[in-house]
Amino acid sequence: MSISEMDFRPAVRPTPPPRSMRSLRDRRDELTSRVALGNQDSVRRRRKLGKRTARERLELLLDEGSFVEVEMFRRGTTGAHTDGVVAGSGTVDGRRIFVYAQDFTISGGSLGAAHAEKIHKVMDLALATGSPIVSVNDSGGARIQEGVLALHGYGGIFRRQVEASGIVPQIAVVLGPCAGGAAYSPALADFTFMVRDTAQMYLTGPDVVAAVSGERVTHNQLGGADVHGSLSGVASFVHDDEESCLADVRYLLSLLPANNMEPPPAFGVSSGDDLRPALPDLVPVEPNQPYDIRGVVAEVVDDGEFLEVHEGWAGNVVCALARMGGEVVGVVGNQPLVLAGVLDTAASQKAARFVRFCDAFNIPLVTLVDVPGFLPGTDQEYGGAIRHGAKLLYAYCEASVPRVQVILRKAYGGAYIVMDSRSIGCDLSLAWPTNEIAVMGAEAAVNVVHRKELAASADPDALRAALMVEYAEELVHPYYAAERGLVDDVIDPAQTRAAVLRGLAMLRDKRRRTPARKHGNVPL
């Protein structure tokens, strides 16, 4: 019988037989059932709000019957068994993960010493066994009654997250409030999932904001899923309901290795024709015409399927996990539909974090380039565009996984360098015949280089047009970079998938030795 079925048992149960007549198993089962059922009044209130219990959420996440709970009978200052967190291990598609789910029906899921120690235990076990960690967050925050002990418990979680970073994947699922210091746990995770209307994350709540600044905001306006999915970039994925959210957590786990010592799980694919005749028609030849880079990604990857990360934030760059030839790859591509695909502070941060994750977990990188440059303006410069752009530059330079670059159209200036160019360590650079690799576009270049001639000309427009043609023919033609060894091949766009697959196969056994050091200093 599942936990969710047990929850609907009648409130009035038959009188148990005298203690002397019950077996040890009966006694244990009775206690286990009582703990698992929890506070039925609180459970009913949650159901009226459309929310599931912690155990029901784990049933959606894990393979049926796979959950092994630890410290079910643990008590803290709440006096209730579990102390407000269900913790243990289970499988997803047969692969081991460790998990904990906070139980809002017990003291609002607040974190005290016993609650924290249970989380510490599963995190330690995950690291010891090399298994992913999934946290289901639904808590009012630190248990005020326990004072500094609660804060000490959070600190232990954060320290373990940092220790596990880059060793095992960490996924945070926010299905309720996550306030104060608790918000740092999802922020430290590799991926954060949130559900609209029910999940909120913030450091200081609406009441504190109103008291300090006079600003009146709701919980959702301050830290709802859409806020973190589109404005702050804290949420990697946003969903409408818990079912689709937890289903996507399972899908994400299917794309990730258990730890940094293993390759991602691969699945064999039939050896079919990798020609993609639709690709040339997806990308306009005219450099200023927009198109959706997702269409190109769908044509290149297996079955057109990919999982886009941060879909609602920094839309001018697309980051996605997919499979090519059955093996997992990370795809980074400029998005001409948004801001013409330029790089800005948010896009640089988004892509840099994704590149570093892929490198940490042995996921090859495929970079699709169509970038006119960095977004100009005082807002960008004052906001640290140089520093944020350097994050992406650093991430690619540091990456030791196989790296394949495909230049679709524009590749101008410093943005070309940053988008995994040959000069910063790309292993294989491919280009379409429409590629334009240059310091800047022809018109901008002519206006700078020939400004005196244009100013003195009787017909500056005609002269500019002629000079632009001359500039393009001499410096921006498709084979200029290939002739100088900066592009490995100029390919037929329809052959893109086949060329990338050949490149990844060639690079499969790539190894790179790095100099001994404690760590680099990322331009944070």
Catalytic positions are 180-181, 414-415
At 94, the amino acid letter reads: G
The b-or-e profile of 320-345 (16+ CB within 10 A means b, else e) is: bbbbbbebbbbbbbbbbebbbbbbbb
Alpha carbons 345 and 363: distance in angstroms, whole number:
24
Residue 192's nearest CA partner among 133, 125, 105, 112 is: 133
**Which among 220, 232, 229 is positioned nearest to 176, based on CA atoms?**
220
**Residue appearing with tokens 């081991």:** 96
39 phi/psi in degrees, rounded to 5: -85, 105
Asked if residues 502 and 465 have their Cβ atoms less than 8 Å apart, the reply is no
And the tokens for 57? 């959420």
C-alpha to C-alpha distance for 367 and 334, rounded to whole angstroms: 9
Residue 370's Cα: distance from chain center in Å? Answer: 22
Report how far apart the first and last C-alpha atoms of the chain are (Å, whole number). 50
DSSP summary character for residue 80: S
- In angstroms, rounded to a whole number, what is the distance separating the alpha carbons of residues 280 and 276? 8
CA 459: distance to chain centroid?
Answer: 53
Distance CA 135, CA 139 (A): 12
Query: CA-CA distance, 500 to 15, in Å (whole number)?
Result: 69
Read out DSSP for 191-240? Answer: EEEEETTT-EEESS-HHHHHHHH-----HHHHHBHHHIIIII---SEEES
